[in-house]
Each structure stands twice: as C-alpha cells, then as structure tokens.
Copies of this chain bind each other. A is one copy, B any other.
Amino acid sequence: MSGASQRPGAQWPLDEVVAGLRAARQDWRERHRQHEPRGRELPSPEALDEIIQGLRGALFPLRLGPPSLRPEAEDYYIGHTLDTQLQALRQQILLELGSSAGADPAVPGLAERADEITAAFALALPDVRRLLDADVLASFDGDPAARSVDEVLLCYPGIAAMIHHRLAHRLYALGVPMLARIVAELAHSRTGIDIHPGAQIGAGLFIDHGTGVVIGETAVIGQRVRIYQAVTLGARSFPTDEQGQIRKGAPRHPVVEDDVVIYAGATILGRITLGRGSVIGGNVWLTRSIPPGSHISQANSQSQAPGEV
C-alpha cells in the first residue's frame, strides 16, 4: 500500500488509459446498439447470493439457520427472514423486468408484476421444502457413507445444488430467467454441478460427488433418480446440424424416468428417453432411447455409438 506513494515518481498514463477505455466503449456502443444495457441497473449476483443464503435458513431453520436459533423462535426467525429476503428479491425482479423491457423500473406495471412474481414465489416455498426433504432423504439413503440427515444438508454438494435449482426453477417458471440463471451459476461455481434452471426434476434426486455434471434446459427427470459426477444430460448437436448449432426452443435434452441410475462420466445426448429403472454405466455414451429396466455399459453403448456420430 505504501510502496507506491513512497516513490513520488511512480506513474502510469492514467488519462490515456481512461481515454482508451472510453474509445473502446464508444466503438462497442456504435457497432452493437442492440446490445446496450436496456435498463439502468442489472440484477446483482451478490444480492442473489445473500437472498438464497437467507432462504436456505428459512427453509431449514434448525439446520441451516443461525447457530443459536431456539425452537421457540423458529417462526419469528422465518417470518423476519422471509420478509427481508423477499423484499430484496422483489427489487432484483424489478431490475430484471426493467432491464428486459428496456423500460424504467419505476413504471407502475412493472412493480405490479414484481409483486405478483414475488408472491407466487413465496407461496411456492412450502412445496420447495417438501421436494428438498425428498432430495435429502434420497442422498441419505443412497450414500452408505452418510451418517445423518444433518450431515447431508450441511455437506453434500448435490444438496447445495438442488436447493439452488429448486429455487431457480421457480424463478425461471415465473418469468425471470436471468435471476434464475444467476442462481444456477452460484451453485455451479460452488459445486461444479451445472443444472439449467429450466430443467424439470422430480422429487428425490441424488447427485453424488457432482463435479462436472451438466443438465440441460429441457431435460426432464423423474423421481428417485441417481446421478454421479461428470454425467452430461445434453443436447445432441453436430450430427444433424451442419453449423454445429443447437436448435432453440424445442425439447432437445433427455427424459430420464423414475428410479434411473446414471454412473460417472456417462454422456446422454438428445431428446431420448431412459426407461424407468434403467442403469447406465460409467463413461457410457448414449444417443438413443432405451426401454425400462435396461442396463447399459460401455460395451453395448459404444458398439452402436461412435461410428455413427
């Protein structure tokens, strides 16, 4: 800190750098007018991180809430936390609505929509809790190393990812996809698990280890599914599209039915269906549907796979 100021000669051409950056911004703005910031402020990942941390506590007060919380005070804590965090969320919703509409967020219509979205999100929280209960139980049952449900909630990256996803998915469904994406990326950064907030996931998903898991926007996952690290549920891409582009909008990620297990490193691509109760082996590369009860390993998956891609 003091080094620079102790040497009076320490200099760099500040005005020149400021001017150079200004010119770069002007170039961009002239060439890419359609990409100008449409609102005055953008949603804030830092604000959303704090909101999600608060909601985690409100969902699981005695486990993820403040360390000194007494059972007698649970509802007070939850009510105060929700009120604080939902107001903060409403502000972020307003920013996204204003930004995507190119409109001034002070316009009345936006505020009403922000209220409606916030209220709908709030009312969904009890269901989110019930789904997460199922996820926690699935992790506890699925991992012989788990010693208690408390440990699962505190430690398991798969659970951290699912808490984020189940909240992000509600935001996505309610029409604030940028907030949803920010929440999903918070989990991705912390766990290495990248679940698009559009993915529909049934109760009781267990993701073990998790680093490198990618689940795409239109994936549909049933109940009690188990997924290990580095599994991709992706879109099938370059065979059918000469520019290597994913077609937008249409369902393009796998449907995984109830009770399927997918071992580490498996790559499942395209709008295919993995039938109920199937087991997909490690590193399998799969681009075709399989009937219920299938057991797929590298041998039988690859015989059909690589050559045709």
Chain B residues whose CB sits within 8 angstroms of the CB of A129 once the complex forms? 21, 24-25
Find chain B residues with CB under 8 A from A68 CB: 1-2, 4-5, 41, 84, 87
Q: Which parts of A14-68 form the interface with B (CB within 8 Å)?
A: 14-18, 20-25, 27-28, 32, 35, 37-38, 40-45, 58-59, 61-63, 66-68
In-complex Cβ contact of A104 among B6, B157, B246 (8 A): B6
Q: Does A290 reach chain B (CB closer than 8 Å)?
A: no
B5 and A91 within 8 A (CB): no
Closest to A61 in B: B25
Nearest CB of B to A300, in Å? 8
Q: What is the bound-complex CA distance between A237 and B105, given in angstroms?
A: 53
Q: A209's contact among B69, B194, B304, by CB below 8 Å, is which?
A: B194
Chain B hits for A20, CB < 8 A: 123, 125-126
Partner of A123, one of B13, B111, B145, B191: B13
Shortest beta-carbon distance from A167 to chain B in Å: 14
A99 contacts the other chain (Cβ, under 8 Å)? yes
Nearest-neighbour CB distance to chain B for A87, whole angstroms, equals: 4
Give the docked Cα–Cα distance between A137 and B147 (Å): 36
Query: In residues 68-83 of chain A, which contact B (Cβ within 8 Å)?
Result: 68-70, 72-83
Chain B's nearest CB lies how many Å from the CB of A262? Answer: 10
Is A86 interfacial (CB-CB < 8 Å)?
yes
A147–B100 contact, CB under 8 A? Answer: yes
One digit per residue, 1 when the CB lies within 8 angstroms of any chain B CB and 0 when it does not, for chain A 133-176 equals: 10001001000110111110011110000000000000000000
C-alpha gap A309/B280 in the complex (Å): 11
Asked if A202 is at the interface of the complex by the 8 Å CB criterion, the answer is no
Q: List 7 A-B contacts (CB under 8 A).
A: A3-B105, A12-B123, A144-B248, A151-B178, A239-B309, A303-B306, A303-B308
CA A65 to CA B63, docked complex, whole Å = 27
Contact B178–A155 (Cβ < 8 Å): yes
Question: Are B287 and A297 within 8 A (Cβ)?
Answer: no
A307, chain B: closest CB distance, angstroms: 4
Q: How far is the CA of A238 from the CA of B297 in the complex (A)?
A: 10
In angstroms, Cα B1 to Cα A41, docked, is: 11
- Asked if A91 and B2 sit within 8 Å, CB to CB, the answer is yes
B279 touches A238 (CB 8 A): yes
